[in-house]
Structure 1
Amino acid sequence: MSLNGTGNAELDSQSATIETEGDETTPLSNASRAKGASFASSVFNLMNAIMGSGILGLAYAMASTGIVGFCILLTLVSGLAAYSIHLLLKLCDLTGINSYENLGERALEKPGKVLVGIAILIQNVGAMSSYMFILKSELPAAISSFLSPDQSGDAWYEDGRLLLILVTLCVVLPLAILPKIGFLGYTSSLAFFFMFYFAIVVVVKKWSIPCPLPHNITFFIGSYQVSNASDTECTPKLFIVSSRSAYAIPTMAFSFLCHTAVLPIYCELDRPTKARMQNVTNVGISLSFLLYLVSALFGYLTFYAHVDSELLLSYDVYIPRDIMVMTVRLAILISVLLTIPLIHFPARKAVTLLLRGNSPFSWPTHIIVTVVILGLVVMLAIFVPDIRNVFGVVGSTTSSCLLFVFPGLFYLRIARQPLKSFDSIGAVCLVVFGLIMGVTSFSIIIFTWTHSS
C-alpha cells in the first residue's frame, strides 16, 4: 500500500533508455529490455502507488468541507494530478530522462536535483510517519478486539507507543536494513484489494450505526472530547468553511501523489508510448478517485461532523468487536507493516545520494542512515498527536511541490515552449495553484496550532 509513489516501482529497474523525439507516439527504446508490463498490470501498479493511508483521512476532509465542496476539490486535485503527469511524460520523451531527480537536475542543475531529493525524502518520511501512526493507534485496538472484555485494563499491549517500538525493532528494522528488498514488492499487490475491502466495509457499516449517535457514549476527535450528535447534526452539509478545511486539499494532494513512480512504470510498460502511459494514468487515477469518494462519502454519512481524522478509530466506540471492522483493520495493519520498508528504501537512497553521491556501497553508511531515518519516523509517530497533522503539513509542502510546482516549473524550464501555448499556460497554472495552496494551507495550519495550544 504505497501512499506517495514509492512502492514497488521504485525498487524495480530504472535503466530503460528513452528515445529523444518529442511527439506523443515516440516509444521507449526496447533495446536490452524484456517484454514489458501489460496495460492492466501497469494500471494496477500505479494504483498501488496512489492508494494508501490517505484514504483513512478523506472522510474527515469531507466533514471539513461538505459533500459538494469535497467533490469539487477532489475532482480538481485528481485532474491536476493527471495533468502534471502529462507534463512529466512529455519531458520524459523530450529529454530521454526517466527519473524525477534527473529532471530536476536538467531543469535547475544541481540545486534542482537536491530540491527534488529533499522533497522525496520529506514526503517518504511523512508517509512512513502516517503508517507508523496507524500502527500506534490501530495495534492496541486490534489486539484488544481479539481478547475478551474482562482482559482489558492497563495491559502493556494497550500502549500504542510501546507496541510501535517493539514492531519497529522486531519487524520493520530487519526488513528495512536489507540492501535489496525487491521481494517485498509482491506484498504490495494486495494493497488494492485491501483498499477495495475497506471501501466495502465503510459502505456496509453506514447502516450499522444509527444517527443520532447513542447519547450514552462520548468519544474523541483528536485531543478534544466531543458531545454526541443531535438530530439536527444528522443532515449532511453541502459546503463547510472553517479552519479544519485547511487540511482538506493537503490531504487530497497527499493521497494522489504517485509521481515518483510514474516514470519507472512508464519504462516497464509494454509498447511504451506517452499516449499509452497517459491512458494508464487516467484509468488508475479515475479508479482511485472512485474508491476515495465512496469511502469518504459513506464514512462521513456514518459519523457526520464527528468523524475521526483516522476513520477506523471512529468505529471502535460503537462497534468495537465487529468482525468486518476487525478483519479490515488486520488487513490494513499487515499491509502497512510490510509497506514501511518499501517506502524507506527510496528515502534512504535519497539521503545516501545527497551524502555520498555515486560512491560505492558502504555497510556502515547504509546501517546508520537506516537507523536514523527509522528513529526519526518513530519519534514523529509517537509525538504527533493527530494523523491529520501529518497529512496537512506534508501535503501542503512536499506533496504540493512534487504534485504541482515541480512538474510545471520543470516543463517551463526544459520544454521552452511559447508562453501562449496550452501546456505552458497549464504549467504556469500548476505552479501558481501549488504555491497558493501550499502557502495558504500551511499558514492556516500553523495559525490553528498556535491558537489551539
Structure 2
Amino acid sequence: MTIKTIEPTKERKSRSSTKSKRDVVDEKSPLLPTKQQEDDGGFDEFNGASFTGAVFNLSTTVVGAGIMALPATMKVLGLGPGIAMIIFMAFLTEASIEMLLRFSRAGRSVSYGGVMQDAFGKYGRMLLQVCVLVNNIGVLIVYMIIIGDVLSGTTSSGVHHAGVLEGWFGVHWWNGRFFILLVTTFGVFAPLASLKRIDSLRYTSALSVALAVVFLVITAGITIFKLISGNILMPRFLPNITDLTSLFKLFTVVPVLVTAYICHYNVHTIDNELEDTTQIKAVVRTSLTLCSTVYVMTSIFGFLLFGDATLDDVLANFDTNLGIPYSSLLNDAVRVSYAAHLMLVFPIVFYPLRLNLDGLLFPSARPLVSDNLRFALLSIGLICVTFLGANFIPSIWDAFQFTGATAAVCIGFIFPAAVTLGDRHGIATKKDKILCIFMIVLAVFSNLVAIYSDAYALFKKGESKHE
C-alpha cells in the first residue's frame, strides 16, 4: 500500500483497495513494515478510523490542564485582546499543522519524526523525540498531581485544602493521595494505556470533551445566575496598564496562549488511522474550532464570575463559597468533572510518549504494536515514572514549567517553521516563510518570558522561606 502520495485521488484509491483487500486476506498477514524507520511505532496500516473519532481524539489532545489558566489571561489582557489572542493562536496552530502535513506528503513520511528526519537527518528526529518525552512526561505528572489535589486534597504553605473525597467522607487511609492515585492508575490509566491504536480511545476522548463542556456549562450557569441577580460587575475589556511592571505582566500570558493548542505529536498518528486521509485537514480545522469555542467561553465566563479575583488556576476559585444556592454541590461537580476529564486525557498524551520513547530507544526495531513484550515494558515503565513523580516529587511542577514550556513551543512552532524554512522539497511559498519567521520569534520570546517569570517566582519563593 502507498501510504502517502502527492496526488490525493491516487491516495484514496490506494486506501480503498487496501480496505477491500483486508476483507479477503487474513488479518494476520504480514502488512507491517520490517524496519521502524521513523518514530511511528504503532503504524500498522489500520485505516478504519472515523472522522468524528479523529476529531474527538485531537480535541482531547488539545484541551488538557491549560484550559484552567485561560480565565487568568483575561484578567491580564482584558476580554477583547484575550479573546482575540485565543482565536489568533488557533489560526497559527492550524497553519503550523498544515505545513507539517504538506511536507510529510512531499517526503512520504508517516510521522512527525519522519518529517524531522527527512529535513534534518536522524538527529532532527531524535531532537523531536526528546522534546516529546520532556513535554509529555511533565504534562502527565502534572495531570496526576492535579487529580490527587482535587480528590484527596493538598497542603500548601502549611495550609491544608481538603479534597472532594475528604470533604465527603472525612480523612481516611483509602482517600489519601497515594491510594487514590494507585487506584486511578490501575483502574483507569493502565487499561486505557494498553490499547494499541489511538482510534480505540475515541469514546473516552468524546467523554473527555463532554466533561470539559460540563465544566463550561456549570460555570456559565453560575455566571448567568449571578448576572441576573446583579452580583457581577462588567469586566474590563482592555488591559489595565499603570506602570512598567503591569506592562511587562502582559507578556507573561504569552506562554499560556502559545502552548494552549499543542497537539502536533498526535496529528500523524490520527491521520494514519483515518479511513480517508484527505479528511485530516477538516479534522484539524473542526477540532481547533471546537477547542477554540470551549476556550473562549471558559475564559469569558470564568473571568465574568471571578473578575480580578480570578486565580492563575481558576479551579482553585471553586474551593470557596460562590454566594449562590447549592454552592458546595456545584463546586464539587466542577472539581470532579475536571478530575475525570484529566483521567481521560491521560491516555491520549501517553500514546505519543510511548511511541517516541520506543523510537528513541529502538530506532531499527519492528513496529511497537507487533512486539507485545516491548509494548508492555515501555507502558509499565512510563506509568511507574509518572506515578512516582506525582507522589514523591510534587514540586516537579516548578521544574517542568521550564522544560515543558520550552519543549512544547519547539514541537508546536519552532520545528514546523524550521522544516518549512529549510524547504527541502521546494514547496514553501514566500508567505509561508514570513509566517515561519514570525512563529519562531514568537516561540523564542515565549520561552524567554516563561523561563524568566518562572525563575523570578522561584527566587521570590526562596527569599520568603529565608525571611
TM surpasses 0.5? yes
List aligned pairs for 1:5-404, cutoff 5 A: 17-20=3-6, 27=11, 29-30=14-15, 31-33=17-19, 37-140=49-152, 141-145=163-167, 147=168, 152=170, 154-156=171-173, 159=176, 161-167=177-183, 170-171=186-187, 174-175=190-191, 178=194, 180=196, 183-207=200-224, 235-236=235-236, 238-240=238-240, 241=246, 245-273=250-278, 276-319=279-322, 322-359=328-365, 361=371, 363=373, 366-367=376-377, 370-371=380-381, 374-376=384-386, 378-380=388-390, 383-384=393-394, 392-393=401-402, 396-404=405-413
Q: Which residue of 2 aligns with 1:219?
A: none
The offset of 1:198, in angstroms, is 1.4
Note if contact 2:63-2:291 (Cα within 8 Å) is conserved in structure 1.
yes
123-132 or 348-357, larger mean C-alpha shift: 348-357
**Cα deviations by residue, 1:204-231 (Å, 9 ceiling, x for unpaired):** 11255689xx9xxxxxxxxxxxxxxxx9
Q: TM-score, normalised by structure 1?
A: 0.77
Give the distance between the partners of 1:395 and 1:76, measured in 2 at CA. Answer: 22
Note if contact 2:255-2:449 (Cα within 8 Å) is conserved in structure 1.
no
Give the distance between the partners of 1:25 and 1:409, measured in 2 at CA. Answer: 29
The offset of 1:94, in angstroms, is 1.1
Structure 1 residues 270 and 179: CA distance shift in structure 2, 3 A: closer
Note if contact 1:247-1:445 (Cα within 8 Å) is conserved in structure 2.
no
Give the distance between the partners of 1:381 and 1:246, measured in 2 at CA. Answer: 33
State the superposition RMSD in angstroms. 3.6
Unmatched 5+ residue regions in structure 1?
Answer: 1-14, 215-230
Give the distance between the partners of 1:65 and 1:157, measured in 2 at CA. Answer: 43
The offset of 1:307, in angstroms, is 2.0
The offset of 1:63, in angstroms, is 2.2
Note if contact 1:254-1:395 (Cα within 8 Å) is conserved in structure 2.
no
SS at match of 1:17: coil
Q: Which residue of 2 aligns with 1:217?
A: none
**Cα deviations by residue, 1:390-439 (Å, 9 ceiling, x for unpaired):** 88535531111111101111122244548872222222222232222222
Q: Which residue of 1 aligns with 2:32?
A: none
246-255 or 368-377, larger mean C-alpha shift: 368-377
Give the distance between the partners of 1:328 and 1:115, measured in 2 at CA. Answer: 38
SS at match of 2:277: coil
Write the letter of the residue equivalent to 1:49: T
**Cα deviations by residue, 1:157-212 (Å, 9 ceiling, x for unpaired):** 665x434543355435643774747655432221221111211111111255689x
Give the distance between the partners of 1:96 and 1:419, measured in 2 at CA. Answer: 16
302-311 or 330-339, larger mean C-alpha shift: 330-339
SS at match of 1:256: coil
**Cα deviations by residue, 1:73-108 (Å, 9 ceiling, x for unpaired):** 212321210110111121122111120011111111
Q: Which residue of 1 aligns with 2:461?
A: 452
Question: Could you tell me which of 433, 437, 445 is aligned with 1:436?
Answer: 445
Note if contact 2:79-2:235 (Cα within 8 Å) is conserved in structure 1.
no
SS at match of 2:365: coil
Are 2:443 and 1:427 equivalent residues in the alignment? no
Note if contact 2:72-2:314 (Cα within 8 Å) is conserved in structure 1.
yes
Give the distance between the partners of 1:417 and 1:107, measured in 2 at CA. Answer: 12
Structure 1 residues 374 and 112: CA distance shift in structure 2, 3 A: same
